[in-house]
Amino acid sequence: MKHLITRTILVLSLVSLFTDLSSEMLYPIMPLFLQSIGFSTILIGVLEGFAEAIAGLSKMYFGRLSDDMGRRMPFVRLGYFFSAISKPMLAFFTFPLWIFSARTIDRLGKGLRTGARDALLSDESTPENKATVFGFHRALDTTGAVLGPLMALVYLHYRPEDYKTLFLIAFIPAILSVLFTFIIKEQRKALTAIKPATSLLEKFSYWKSSPTAFRQLMIGLLFFGLINSSDVFLLLQTKQITGDDSKVLMVYIFYNLVFALFALPLGRLADKIGMKKMIVFGLVLFSVVYTGMGLTGDFRVVLLLFFLYGIYAAATEGVAKALISNLVPKTATASAIGFYAGWNSICAFVASSVAGLIWYFVSPEAAFICSAGGSLLAAIYLYSRRW
């Protein structure tokens, strides 16, 4: 195991850990903060939808730009820096345009770094151990998602509703992550096999020049993205079942803990049995979870379902990127992952909007059952592909 995890992989994973710790300190309390400064539910939805759209488009653009330039680290450093400075911005002013700017800078930072960072992880691994490497990275990244909410809960227990100070505290691990990126020394390589984009529009699409296997994988994953709504709906359903905010936060932390613990083992297993099989297994689990959330009223069942949901995430998130990097030329890794991550963000926005409409006009149960059925269709499609 030791020889698989190079210095670059370890440092990138620690960078993600500190960044996620910072972001997840704020995730559970962000809606509460926005409501406390006068944001309506509709305005919160518009803010998050706009932020995700920015993230999606920038992932595609900067992923392709990284391949065109043959550089990774400038995009990684600037991306993490943007996300870091967005944290204290929220502590200084509270008028809507400033809040929109802070969230946009944060999401733009994510878009800047995603394709280039994942291309670095791919370059540091081999086709035989790639899912293990991406699993290791996801494990440390998600460890931050466990520690962040716990730290926020402890702080707010002693300082209730002191959100602004929490934003300043979150800046500390965020800026540490930026400093860690300077440990990485990028080896300059000529990435000339991919034809540079000649227009602005080309930088947003890798589809035209991509291999057939990549396109088939994208059809399955992006169809799944169109039914994979925000985790907020799972948490809302948990609140309806339990009526207890603390239990909602507990299952969220529990889910991230399971995700962190299983990301590496399932990544290693994916390298042995095949990444496509692992993704299909994850999509079937997703269907089980969403069916269960639509039918149960028992908190003990909810805990079991969030355990399975953590397994699903560990089986798919890092493994999908590892599989993508194996299906495309090495010189197009950032473009391919940026294309997937970008369109997946846009699909998630559509999925959440549709789920919200079904939830409001039909029922929460209908929203969950629709997602469960769509996930099974995606699993069947991917299982039937032969690469």
**Domain positions in the chain:** 7-182+205-384
pLDDT for residue 212 is more than 70: yes
Burial of 25 (0-12, 13-18, 19+ CB in 10 A): buried
**CATH topology (fold) of 7-182+205-384:** Growth Hormone; Chain: A; (1.20.1250)
Extract the tokens encoding 123. 């370059």
What string of DSSP letters covers 256-304?
A: HHHHHHHHHHHHHHHHHH-HHHHHHHHHHHHHHHHHHHHH---HHHHHH
> Looking at the predicted structure, is the pLDDT value of residue 243 above 90?
no
Residue 211, pLDDT > 90, answer: yes
Per-residue CA distances from 10 to 54, 136, 157, 179 (Å): 29, 9, 33, 14
- Reported in sequence order, the residue ranges of 111-260 that DSSP labels E, i.e. its strands, are none
Rounded average pLDDT over 42-55 = 75
Cβ count within 10 A of residue 216: 17
For residue 207, pLDDT over 90 is answered with no
pLDDT over 80 at 46, yes or no: no
What's the confidence (pLDDT) of residue 181?
96
**Percent of the chain residues past pLDDT 90, beyond the cut:** 60
pLDDT of residue 183: 93
Burial class of residue 182 in the structure, from the number of CB atoms within 10 Å of its CB (0-12 exposed, 13-18 middle, 19+ buried): exposed
- pLDDT at residue 356 is higher than 90: no
Does residue 243 come out as left (phi exceeding 0), alpha (psi in the -120 to 50 range) or beta? left
Q: What is the mean pLDDT of residues 84-88?
A: 93
Local confidence band at 203 (pLDDT 50, 70, 90 cut-offs): low
Residue 97 has pLDDT above 90, yes or no: no
The values of phi and psi at residue 192, to 5°, are: -110, 0
> 63 and 337 in contact (C-beta within 8 Å)?
yes
What's the average model confidence in pLDDT over 92-103? 85
Average pLDDT over residues 9-22: 95
> What is the rounded average pLDDT of the residues 245-260?
88
Q: Sorting pLDDT into bands at 50, 70 and 90, what band is 186? A: confident
Residues with Cβ < 8 Å from 123, sequence gap 6 or more?
72, 330, 333
d(CA 19, CA 115): 16
- Predicted pLDDT at 198: 52
Taking the C-alpha atoms of residue 281 and residue 286, their distance in angstroms, rounded to an integer, is 9
Of 250, 218, 157, 241, nearest to 347 (Cα)? 218
352 vs 217, higher pLDDT? 217
129-184 pLDDT, tens digit each:
999 999 999 999 999 989 998 898 888 888 887 888 999 999 999 999 999 999 99
**Higher pLDDT among residues 29 and 26, named by residue:** 26
Q: Which residues contact 151 (CB under 8 A, 6 or more apart)?
A: 21, 25
Q: How many CB atoms lie within 10 A of CB 42?
A: 8
- pLDDT band at 189; cut points 50, 70, 90: low
Mean pLDDT of 330-359: 89
In the predicted model, is pLDDT for residue 109 greater than 60? yes
SS3 of residue 190 by DSSP: coil
Q: How many CB atoms lie within 10 A of CB 249?
A: 18
Which pLDDT value is given to residue 41?
Answer: 60
Contact present, 295 and 335 (Cβ < 8 Å):
no
pLDDT of residue 348: 85
Which structure tokens are listed for 360?
Answer: 């409001």
Cα–Cα distance for residue pair 190/212, rounded to 1 Å = 25
* pLDDT score recorded for residue 340: 94
Give residue 119's identity as a one-letter amino acid code: A
End-to-end CA distance of the chain: 28
Q: Is 256 helix (H, G, I), strand (E, B) or coil?
A: helix
Sign of CA dihedral 263, 269, 274, 280: negative
pLDDT at residue 24 greater than cutoff 90: no
Specify whether the CB–CB gap between 347 and 221 falls below 8 A.
Answer: no
Q: What is the pLDDT of residue 201?
A: 58
pLDDT for 141 equals 93
Mean pLDDT of the chain: 89
What is the tens place of the pLDDT at every residue in 309-333? 999 999 999 999 999 999 999 889 9
Amino acid 353: pLDDT: 84
| C-alpha 86: how far from chain center | 18
**Given pLDDT bands bounded at 50, 70 and 90, which one contains residue 295?**
very high
Reply yes or no on whether the pLDDT at 2 is more than 70: no
